[in-house]
């Protein structure tokens, strides 16, 4: 009797397929402050037509779109923390300030926010911030059906996952709410102010030519 | 003048550095990356995998991959593809970040051509040394670098000069017993797999503390047997060793009479410097070692150092095979088993060697073989890595569609809390072939302006057939265990971290770059001691053999210097 052959199903490899981020060498201790500050502010709920405050990286309009889309990606639905609970918004600001992230990747995030606004105007003749919740959700769903929009949403989902799963030292995963919800035990040692990614690159800095 | 200049400080360099410093030779090491101290290592995914802090980034140090596709080979720079063969760039190299599954090769691995005959389309070769020549050095690695495990008898057990490993096996998750039990039920020997990780403290190193974040992460107890933790400290203590971190060698200069006189490198400020030494040892990890030789062109060696025979960069090999996984849902297990499955320990450390040689008349390749036998490989069993980001990313898509909202949250909650994923990895020979080699790219340069490695990654269909045969045996075990949603992935994509070949050793200068002592045939004082020497990579990850071979070459150098 011959041995059985099993058909192949493609699965991603644990580390090989993680979206990789390139790095550059600008120092960005400021980034940490930005993420921290964002968690201190009180934010309006996503259904509010009022604008979020502008900040160093985003206009009020962009902040409002970002905040709302993050809540669509990770809503407050009674199942674990929401994007607001995790401070995903603050984490995204940290990312926008991150000197290790390529400027074009940061620009891409912001372009998507502007694009959401343009689409809202095109379809509903209103700014994103003035849309009803259902309209916002419908718009986001439409994004995921377009290749550009799908890529952008994929980046936003990855950022949300980072704010859920990475160490709270980077501004997301507030009070380890993400880890607690998923019963995740972090590996030790965890990063400290001396070993967090910015400090690591400062201390082990390859040179710029 | 120094006695020896070593380029690189990872697994291939460590034993040379250790042995020669201890023997009283003056050794200098040029290491491209920084010297990361144990205290700086964390289990922070932001640092380690999201910002890949230990690897060179693609903009500074790209590589070009020339991959087979349905329309021929397609070359892309890693700047665009984000895929490369760069690993640890720091003192100790990738050995800091390995998972350290340590398997010895077996006597037949050294004589594949003689044992199984030639294979069409593959450049199969015997090694110029035998397993017996290597055995004492495997033992040395176990003792000096530190390997834990337990030897059990089985039909493919290689001869050993010591009865067992110097360190007992690491503590494993009880899921290990499920694998053993299932194997027994279907007649497969699931046996302990050794690790290059110490299970008890020794010298200045603490034992493994089971962080459950091993592969890709640096070790905070020095329990992992990296060159940095296991070999370099003792070598430093001799006073004979100098390490210059952040220094990238880019040219070896010869005297016109087949001898290297200087290594040229960029220091940490990008300034060009030189080092003179009597002997040069290159161990930059296989692809980068071939690249350094190819870059070292001059009148004497117009095609690159030691390349008048045209062999440098040829016959690259990777680890062949792939992997797969299955899931245990807690609602389908007994309470006792749920408790075992929930235990955070990720070590299984079990493997199957029954199919290291395949003798199965229903397997096509065996039918074609004159003696009914073909070379097979190793099956390793694992539990999914603890790092949460890869788990999150796995769950971003469902049937190809991006998911978000409550659906994403439900999926994540379920994945993290209602099941445990077990995995298997398959290792078989990557058959060297004329479409798997390294050259210098004509256009892409690194941040120093030097041409980068261009790696063509053609593979032999046989690797896929054997990989699938082995994966199917692993799947039988998973099925017997009761795992659900079992998948496998065996393909010709080379792993980015298990690299060898490019400077084959052999007796014939026409078909090899190095002699049996890993000295270049064409250059009097050049040795290459990373995985480059391997004519065939064996059916296991390479590092145990790289370490052992480097100790072997060190022994030769102690006499030759
Ligand atoms: C995530 C991961 C998991 C792994 N798991 C396993 C495993 O389970 N089992 C196993 O056997 N192997 C494993 N490996 C592979 C193992 O790490 C390598 O086989 C081994 O480290 C190779 O040794 P090397 O000396 O060739 O290269 P390395 O150890 O990488 O050392 C090469 C060094 O050379 C330096 N260098 C390169 N170019 C230059 C230059 N021009 N000038 C100066 N310095 C230079 C690099 O910076 C680096 O430090 C794993 C690797 C990784 C990354």
Of A18, A166, A190, the CB nearest to B393: A18
- The CA distance from B332 to the nearest CA of chain A, in Å, is 19
CA neighbor of A140 nearest in space, from A86, A53, A85, A71: A71
CB contact under 8 A, A154 and B496: no
So what CATH class is B1-64+85-148+194-319+495-561?
A: alpha beta
CB contact under 8 A, A23 and B52: yes
Confidence band of A34 (pLDDT split at 50, 70, 90): low
Structure tokens at B484: 């659900």
Instruction: Show the DSSP H helices in B120-254 as ranges.
Output: 131-140, 175-186, 227-230, 232-237
SS (H, E, C) B290-357: HHHHHHCCCCCCCCCCCCCCCCCCEEEEECEEEEEEEEEEHHHCCHHHHHHHHCCCCCCCEEECCCCE
CB contact under 8 A, B475 and A6: yes
- The Cα–Cα gap between B308 and B316 comes to 18
Of A16, A100, A203, the CB nearest to B40: A203
- The Cα–Cα gap between A99 and A24 comes to 7
Count of all residues that appear for chain A in the document:
209
Structure tokens at A177: 């709410």
What pLDDT, on a 0 to 100 scale, did the predictor assign at position A25? Answer: 25
CA neighbor of B45 nearest in space, from A99, A97, A18: A18
Structure tokens at B560: 């030759």
Contact B453, B63 (CB under 8 A): yes
Confidence band of A208 (pLDDT split at 50, 70, 90): low
pLDDT tops 60 at residue A43: no
pLDDT tops 60 at residue A15: no
Cα distances (Å, whole numbers) of residue B347 to B241, B363, B379: 36, 32, 15
- The Cα–Cα gap between B365 and B492 comes to 18
Contact A54, A46 (CB under 8 A): no
- The Cα–Cα gap between A83 and A163 comes to 8
pLDDT, tens digit, 9 for 90 and up, residues A59-68? 999 999 999 9
Beta bridge partners of B350: B192, B381
Beta bridge partners of B316: B501
Question: Which residues, judged by CB distance below 6 Å to any ligand atom, belong to the binding site of ligand 1?
Answer: B 7-13, 30-33, 87-90, 93-95, 97-101, 215-216, 248-249, 283-285, 288, 292, 497-498, 530-531, 541-544, 546
What pLDDT, on a 0 to 100 scale, did the predictor assign at position A28? Answer: 34
Beta bridge partners of B419: B329
Of A6, A203, A206, the CB nearest to B60: A206
Phi, psi of B53 (to 5 degrees): -65, -20
- The Cα–Cα gap between B51 and B34 comes to 16
B49 touches chain A (CB under 8 A): yes
Q: Which residues of chain B have pLDDT under 50?
A: none
Q: Which helix (H) or strand (E) holds A123?
A: helix A103-124
- The CA distance from A50 to the nearest CA of chain B, in Å, is 23
Place of tokens 């089985």: B154
CA neighbor of B87 nearest in space, from B214, B197, B211, B217: B217
ipTM score? 0.96
Burial of B558 (0-12, 13-18, 19+ CB in 10 A): middle
CB contact under 8 A, A6 and B471: yes
Residue B355: CB atoms within 10 A of its CB come to: 26
pLDDT tops 60 at residue A155: yes
- The Cα–Cα gap between B208 and B453 comes to 36
Beta bridge partners of B437: B456
Ligand 1, atom 47: closest residue by C-alpha = B89
pLDDT tops 90 at residue A39: no
- The Cα–Cα gap between B196 and B142 comes to 8
Across residues A119-145, what is the average pLDDT?
A: 94
Q: Which helix (H) or strand (E) holds B413?
A: helix B406-417
Contact B319, B427 (CB under 8 A): yes
**Which of B39, B50, B86, B468 to mutate against chain A (most A CBs within 10 Å)?**
B50
- The CA distance from B248 to the nearest CA of chain A, in Å, is 11
Q: Which helix (H) or strand (E) holds B379?
A: strand B377-383
What pLDDT, on a 0 to 100 scale, did the predictor assign at position B82? Answer: 87
Domain ranges of chain B: 1-64+85-148+194-319+495-561, 172-193+321-429+460-493
Distance B276 CA to ligand 1 centre (A): 25
Structure tokens at A103: 């400027």
Place of tokens 């792993």: B495
Residue B76: CB atoms within 10 A of its CB come to: 15
CA neighbor of B44 nearest in space, from A197, A108, A14: A197
- The Cα–Cα gap between B318 and B538 comes to 10
Contact B16, B554 (CB under 8 A): yes
Contact B319, B432 (CB under 8 A): no
**Which of A7, A16, A20, A196 to mutate against chain B (most B CBs within 10 Å)?**
A20
Structure tokens at B175: 């899921």
Ligand 1, atom 1: closest residue by C-alpha = B216
What pLDDT, on a 0 to 100 scale, did the predictor assign at position A207? Answer: 64
What pLDDT, on a 0 to 100 scale, did the predictor assign at position A6? Answer: 67
Looking from the CA of residue B96, the nearest atom of ligand 1 is: 17
What pLDDT, on a 0 to 100 scale, did the predictor assign at position A147? Answer: 84
Place of tokens 């600001």: A93
- The CA distance from B150 to the nearest CA of chain A, in Å, is 27
The DSSP secondary-structure symbol of B144 reads: I
Count of all residues that appear for chain B in the document:
561
pLDDT, tens digit, 9 for 90 and up, residues A45-57? 334 457 888 899 9
What pLDDT, on a 0 to 100 scale, did the predictor assign at position B557? Answer: 98
SS (H, E, C) B250-268: EEEEECCCCCEEEEEEECC
First-last CA distance in chain B: 14
B55 touches chain A (CB under 8 A): no
**Maximum separation of any 2 CA atoms in chain A, in Å:** 72
- The Cα–Cα gap between A205 and A202 comes to 5
- The CA distance from A176 to the nearest CA of chain B, in Å, is 13
CB contact under 8 A, A6 and B410: no
B405 contacts on A by Cβ (under 8 Å): 72-75, 77
CB contact under 8 A, B220 and A188: yes
3 state SS of B426 = strand
| Higher pLDDT among residues B300 and A38, named by residue | B300
CB contact under 8 A, A80 and B489: no
Sign of CA dihedral A104, A107, A108, A109: positive
Confidence band of A38 (pLDDT split at 50, 70, 90): low
SS (H, E, C) B149-199: CCCCCCCCCCCCCCCCCCECCCCCCCHHHHHHHHHHHHCCCEEECCECECC
Strands (E), B406-555: 419-428, 436-445, 451-457, 484-490, 499-502, 526-528
Angle made by CA atoms B354, B356, B360, in degrees to the nearest 5: 70
Which residues are within 8 A (CB) of B82 and not within 5 positions of it... i.e. 6 or more apart? A19, A20, A22, B58
């Amino acid at each position: 009797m011959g041995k059985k052959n099993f058909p192949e199903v493609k699965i991603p490899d644990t580390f090989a397929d993680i979206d990789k981020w390139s790095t550059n060498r600008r120092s960005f201790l400021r980034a940490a402050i930005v993420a921290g500050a964002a968690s201190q502010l009180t934010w309006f709920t996503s259904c509010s037509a009022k604008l979020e405050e502008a900040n160093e990286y985003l206009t009020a309009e962009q902040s409002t779109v970002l905040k709302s889309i993050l809540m669509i990606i990770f809503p407050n639905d009674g199942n674990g923390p929401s994007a607001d609970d995790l401070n995903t918004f603050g984490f995204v600001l940290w990312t926008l300030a991150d000197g290790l992230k390529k400027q074009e990747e940061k620009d891409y995030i912001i372009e998507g926010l502007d694009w959401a606004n343009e689409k809202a105007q095109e379809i509903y003749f209103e700014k994103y911030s003035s849309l009803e919740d259902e309209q916002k959700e419908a718009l986001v769903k439409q994004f995921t059906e377009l290749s550009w929009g799908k890529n952008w949403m994929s980046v936003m989902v990855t950022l949300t996952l980072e704010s859920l799963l990475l160490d709270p030292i980077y501004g997301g995963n507030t009070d380890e709410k993400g880890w607690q919800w998923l019963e995740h035990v972090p590996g030790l040692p965890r990063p400290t102010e001396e070993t967090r990614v910015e400090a690591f690159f400062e201390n082990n800095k390859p040179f710029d030519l | 003048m120094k006695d020896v200049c070593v380029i690189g400080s990872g697994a291939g360099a460590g034993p040379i550095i250790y042995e020669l410093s201890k023997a009283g030779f003056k050794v200098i090491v040029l290491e491209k990356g920084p010297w990361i101290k144990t205290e700086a290592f964390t289990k922070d995914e932001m640092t380690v995998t999201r910002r890949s802090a230990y690897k060179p980034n693609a903009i500074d140090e790209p590589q070009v991959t020339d991959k087979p596709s349905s329309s021929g080979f397609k070359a892309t720079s890693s700047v665009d593809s984000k895929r490369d063969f760069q690993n640890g760039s720091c003192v100790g190299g990738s050995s800091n970040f390995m998972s350290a599954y340590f398997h010895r090769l077996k006597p037949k691995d050294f004589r594949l051509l003689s044992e199984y005959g030639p294979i069409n389309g593959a450049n199969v070769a015997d090694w110029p040394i035998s397993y017996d020549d290597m055995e004492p050095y495997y033992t040395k690695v176990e003792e000096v670098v530190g390997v834990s495990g337990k030897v059990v008898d089985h039909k493919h057990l290689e001869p050993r000069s010591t009865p067992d490993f110097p360190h007992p096996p690491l503590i494993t998750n009880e899921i290990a017993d499920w694998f053993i039990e299932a194997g027994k039920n279907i007649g497969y020997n699931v046996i302990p797999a050794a690790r290059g990780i110490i299970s008890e403290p020794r010298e200045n190193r603490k034992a493994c503390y089971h962080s459950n974040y091993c592969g890709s992460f640096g070790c905070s107890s020095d329990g992992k047997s990296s060159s940095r933790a296991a070999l370099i400290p003792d070598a430093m203590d001799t006073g004979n060793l100098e390490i210059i971190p952040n220094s990238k060698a880019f040219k070896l200069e010869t005297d016109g009479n087949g001898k290297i006189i200087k290594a040229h490198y960029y220091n940490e400020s990008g300034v060009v410097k030189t080092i003179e030494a009597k002997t040069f040892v290159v161990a930059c990890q296989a692809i980068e070692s071939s690249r350094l030789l190819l870059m070292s062109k001059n009148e004497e060696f117009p095609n690159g150092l030691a390349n008048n025979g045209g062999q440098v960069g040829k016959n690259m090999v990777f680890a062949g095979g792939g992997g797969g996984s299955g899931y245990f849902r807690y609602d389908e297990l007994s309470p006792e088993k749920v408790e075992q499955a929930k235990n955070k320990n990720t070590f299984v450390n079990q493997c199957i060697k029954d199919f290291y040689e395949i003798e199965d008349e229903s397997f096509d390749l065996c039918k074609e073989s004159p003696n009914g036998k073909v070379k097979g490989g190793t099956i390793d069993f694992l539990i999914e890595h603890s790092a949460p980001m890869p788990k999150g990313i796995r769950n971003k898509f469902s049937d190809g569609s991006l998911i978000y909202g409550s659906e994403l949250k439900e999926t994540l909650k379920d994945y993290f809390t209602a099941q445990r994923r077990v995995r298997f990895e398959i290792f078989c020979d990557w058959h060297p072939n004329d479409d798997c080699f390294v050259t210098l790219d004509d256009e892409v340069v690194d941040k120093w302006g030097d041409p980068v490695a261009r790696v063509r990654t053609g593979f032999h269909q046989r690797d896929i057939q054997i990989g699938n045969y082995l994966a199917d045996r692993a799947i039988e075990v998973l099925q017997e265990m009761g795992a659900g949603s079992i998948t496998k992935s065996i393909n010709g994509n080379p792993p980015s971290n298990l690299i060898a070949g490019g400077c084959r050793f052999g007796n014939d200068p026409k078909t090899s770059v190095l002699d049996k002592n890993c000295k270049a045939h064409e250059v009097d004082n050049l040795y290459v001691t990373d995985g480059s020497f391997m004519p065939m990579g064996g059916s296991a990850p390479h590092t145990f053999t790289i370490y052992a071979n480097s100790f072997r070459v060190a022994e030769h150098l102690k006499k030759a210097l």
